[in-house]
Amino acid sequence: MKGIDARYDGQHTSRNGNAVADGVLTTAPTPAPTPAPVRDDKGKDVSSDTDSDDDRLQVDHHNVDLENGDGNYDAGDSNANPRLLQATGGPRSPTSASDTDDDNGSGKCTPVRNRGRTVKRKPKNEKPTKQETVRWRDLPEKGQLTVLTFARLSEPLVQTSLQSYMFYQLQSFRPDLPPSVIASQSGILHASFTAAQFLTAMVWGRLADSHLFGRKKVLMIGLAGTMLSCLGFGFSQSFWQALFFRSLGGATNGNVGVLRTMISEIIREKKYQSRAFLILPMTFNIGVIIGPILGGVLSDPAHSYPNQFGDNAFFLRFPYAAPNLLSAVILFSALLGVWLGLEETLDSRRGTRDLGIELRRKIVLLFRRSPDSIAYTPLATHSRNVSDASTVSFEMDPVTPVVSTEEEASTSATAKSSQKSKRPRTRYSQRLPFRRIFTKNVILTLLAQSIFAFHMGSFNSLWFVFLSTPVYDPTQAPAPKSPAAKAAHYLTQNLPFVFTGGIGLPPREVGMAMAILGCFGITMQLLLYPSVSARLGVVRSWRIFLCCFPVTYFIVPFLSLVPSLSAPPHAKDGAAIWFAIALVLLCHVTGRTFALPAQTILVNNCTPHPSVLGSLHGLAQSTSSLARTVGPILSGYLYGLGLNHGLVGAVFWGLSSVAIIGLIASMFVREGDGHEIWLEGDVEDED
């Protein structure tokens, strides 16, 4: 700030090792200040003992940013205060007053990373400590992470459950439709969820940042909306009804961004983030294992289990209601768990009254109390005075101590006070304007994430459709309608690239194939990801394993050419096809295991200020939803064209090209620190 001089009125440590005493940092609005004399313990002037001009107590006013609210330091410890570091010869800020990033002309905000935060310098002879190895049991706040894990588990479990039978449910609406039309409809249905998310995710992110709603309320609304969507989808009788309920679920759901935000606010230390952010994709893989199996086993029970449910009118009318009813129960359980067990993480709402938390504490207290508890209290007699505390404590300790209402209230207040003291302090008092979110690194990170979401969403949509698509049968191929089609050997195999057809798996086996993907994912995330990510780093591992996706997408369509024990039009079976499916999924899961957590960490850390963390995650989810909307619709349409023209692999090879573009885009992304713009009153995180 111009016109402000910082002066240290007291004693200091010079480079020749003079003793120091505590002092006070004061400010005076003088344009040309005179350095105050420095005196030792005996009152002697030692100003001339300094070795250079840098050791004098006058501070360059161009390099001092006196921000209000950052007063948590020892005024006599020059290593604990960046202003005193400058006054005692420490490192100066690399920018001048002209570099201040002022939003309103007041000079209150700055992009300088070390400005306004507490800086501690290591002694020159101190050796750098070896990076501590973080294990799963070292993670703090395990209870809160457990609640978030359950909330995250419920959604992929529901989404992957319906994917195992969506093709057949759409076919039940209109049995006369060809597979190419069903493939296009499934792409639209899959994209409707993300399209609605694209329109509303940014709104939910802003609401999650607001004091009125906060993170927890937005998360509960998302779970409730997904539950209603799930029930409606299970009882749908037409494509348009199913489309409406899928869109409803997407419009009310901004939970992925909120969950990522809450994890970053619960786990603030970077050394724990590689483990903490792994929880969400790992939970997704658990849902991928359980969901398709449940969907495949419970779908259409009247035809799958004719002896038990063959004459059940309810299941004959609503063949796909059973898996959705189970999914609704799981979502309701997650909603209840969030209400009772999850604490708000938004700084402005910390400490506000939470009815769910209060009810949980009362329930816990109710079950901890025993109705048959007996307590003994010694009676005063003429031979023994009850006021003899030591004798009473020794002879008459109660079996179950009786706690009075006052004592219980006092204990509860003490526990709440202790809990408040353990909470991290508020990091900011001002909110960054939304227009300033879009820094260069934020734009590049969101671009790379959008490309990644495009090909991942397209593949997830196509994969179960490809598994369900009937095997190509030359004997039942439609006759060519033109001489040109005959000349081109229409719908005949002309290897290596001209072929059509899928694998033809029924819902139960589709669920099994998708569960293989989840099994690979959870195993690699538990055993490989932590050590490999720690060795390579977040950005490097992200770039390396993005190479897996172009390879996977190029190979996938050739699964329809793998030999089968059964002749067409029967579904492919035998060891060869399952071994090939496992190899393709292994390559895909390897890339996803390392790319997804790294992508989440990069998005989280690219935020320019913690006050807009929820908004940034909402923006990231919105852009990803747009990519996941366009991707499945476009890929579903192209897949249908490929089936009709003998080029089923064209859409997969196109995705391979998109994945290569995403790999190139990743080269321009860097990892931020989550707090690149500093506002007045900002403080550093506590270690």
Q: What is the pLDDT of residues 421-462, one digit of tens each?
A: 445 556 665 667 777 788 888 899 999 999 999 999 899 888
Tell me the DSSP string of 499-548. B-------HHHHHHHHHHHHHHHHHHHHHTHHHHHHHH-HHHHHHHHTTH
**Same-domain status, 549 and 639:** yes
* Mean predicted confidence (pLDDT) in 321-345: 92
**Same-domain status, 270 and 152:** yes
Low-confidence winner among 19-33, 265-279, 476-490, 540-554 (lowest mean pLDDT):
19-33
Q: Of the candidates 121, 146, 164, which is a domain's last residue?
A: 121
Question: For all residues of the chain together, what is the average pLDDT?
Answer: 72
- 543: number of CA atoms within 13 Å, CB side? 13
Which is higher by pLDDT, 533 or 658?
658
**Same-domain status, 200 and 311:** yes
Predicted local distance difference test score (pLDDT) of residue 36: 55
Question: What are the C-alpha distances in Å from 659 to residues 452, 547, 549, 655?
Answer: 7, 8, 6, 6
Quick one: pLDDT band at residue 683, thresholds 50, 70, 90? low
Predicted local distance difference test score (pLDDT) of residue 307: 87
Tally the domains of the chain: 2
Predicted local distance difference test score (pLDDT) of residue 200: 87
**Same-domain status, 186 and 250:** yes
What percent of the chain is modeled with pLDDT above 70?
Answer: 66
Q: Of the candidates 87, 121, 155, which is a domain's last residue?
A: 121
Predicted local distance difference test score (pLDDT) of residue 687: 46
Q: Which pLDDT tens digit goes with each residue over 244-271?
A: 999 999 898 888 888 888 888 888 777 7
Low-confidence winner among 43-57, 228-242, 349-363, 654-668 (lowest mean pLDDT):
43-57
**Same-domain status, 165 and 58:** no
* Mean predicted confidence (pLDDT) in 305-311: 86
Return the closest-CA partner of residue 601 out of 555, 556, 534: 534
Predicted local distance difference test score (pLDDT) of residue 546: 94
Quick one: pLDDT band at residue 47, thresholds 50, 70, 90? very low
> 336 pLDDT exceeds 80?
yes
Q: Residue 71 carries which DSSP code?
A: -
> 684 pLDDT exceeds 70?
no
Burial of 334 (0-12, 13-18, 19+ CB in 10 A): buried
Q: Please check whether residue 385 lies inside any domain of the structure.
A: no
Beta-sheet pairing, 5-9 with 24-28: antiparallel
**Same-domain status, 445 and 558:** yes
CA quadruple 478, 483, 487, 488: dihedral sign = negative
**Same-domain status, 213 and 111:** no
Predicted local distance difference test score (pLDDT) of residue 107: 40
Cα(7)–Cα(33) distance, integer angstroms: 9
Q: Please check whether residue 373 lies inside any domain of the structure.
A: no
Q: Please check whether residue 545 lies inside any domain of the structure.
A: yes
Predicted local distance difference test score (pLDDT) of residue 571: 77
Low-confidence winner among 507-521, 612-626, 661-675 (lowest mean pLDDT):
507-521
pTM above 0.85?
no
Predicted local distance difference test score (pLDDT) of residue 660: 96
| Full residue range of the structural domain in which residue 604 is found | 136-347+440-679
Which is higher by pLDDT, 509 or 320?
320
Predicted local distance difference test score (pLDDT) of residue 369: 65
Q: Please check whether residue 380 lies inside any domain of the structure.
A: no
> 241 pLDDT exceeds 80?
yes
Predicted local distance difference test score (pLDDT) of residue 332: 94
Predicted local distance difference test score (pLDDT) of residue 45: 53
Predicted local distance difference test score (pLDDT) of residue 137: 76
Q: Of the candidates 71, 96, 121, which is a domain's last residue?
A: 121
Predicted local distance difference test score (pLDDT) of residue 338: 93
The CATH number given to whatever domain includes residue 526 is: 1.20.1250.20
Q: Are 276 and 267 a contacting pair, CB within 8 Å? A: yes
> 9 pLDDT exceeds 50?
no
Q: Residue 436 carries which DSSP code?
A: G
Q: Please check whether residue 469 lies inside any domain of the structure.
A: yes
Predicted local distance difference test score (pLDDT) of residue 78: 40
Q: Are 504 and 569 a contacting pair, CB within 8 Å? A: yes
Cα(252)–Cα(226) distance, integer angstroms: 7
Determine the distance from the C-alpha atom of residue 17 to the mean position of all C-alpha atoms in its chain, rounded to a whole number.
50
Other C-beta atoms closer than 10 Å to the C-beta of 450 total 20
> 158 pLDDT exceeds 50?
yes
* Residue 24 backbone phi and psi in degrees, to 5: -130, 135
Which is higher by pLDDT, 33 or 488?
33
Residue with tokens 């004399």: 37
Q: Please check whether residue 606 lies inside any domain of the structure.
A: yes
Predicted local distance difference test score (pLDDT) of residue 648: 85
> 676 pLDDT exceeds 50?
yes
* Mean predicted confidence (pLDDT) in 183-190: 84
**Same-domain status, 340 and 456:** yes
Q: Please check whether residue 379 lies inside any domain of the structure.
A: no
> 218 pLDDT exceeds 50?
yes
Predicted local distance difference test score (pLDDT) of residue 113: 43
**Same-domain status, 155 and 102:** no
Question: What are the C-alpha distances in Å from 343 to residues 248, 276, 515, 528?
Answer: 27, 17, 33, 32
**Same-domain status, 600 and 470:** yes
Q: Please check whether residue 363 lies inside any domain of the structure.
A: no
* Mean predicted confidence (pLDDT) in 281-285: 79
Task: For residue 260, give the H/E element and its range.
Answer: helix 255-266
Q: Are 32 and 11 a contacting pair, CB within 8 Å? A: no
**Same-domain status, 539 and 589:** yes
* Mean predicted confidence (pLDDT) in 168-182: 86
**Same-domain status, 117 and 140:** no
Cα(327)–Cα(226) distance, integer angstroms: 10
* Mean predicted confidence (pLDDT) in 536-556: 92
> 640 pLDDT exceeds 90?
no
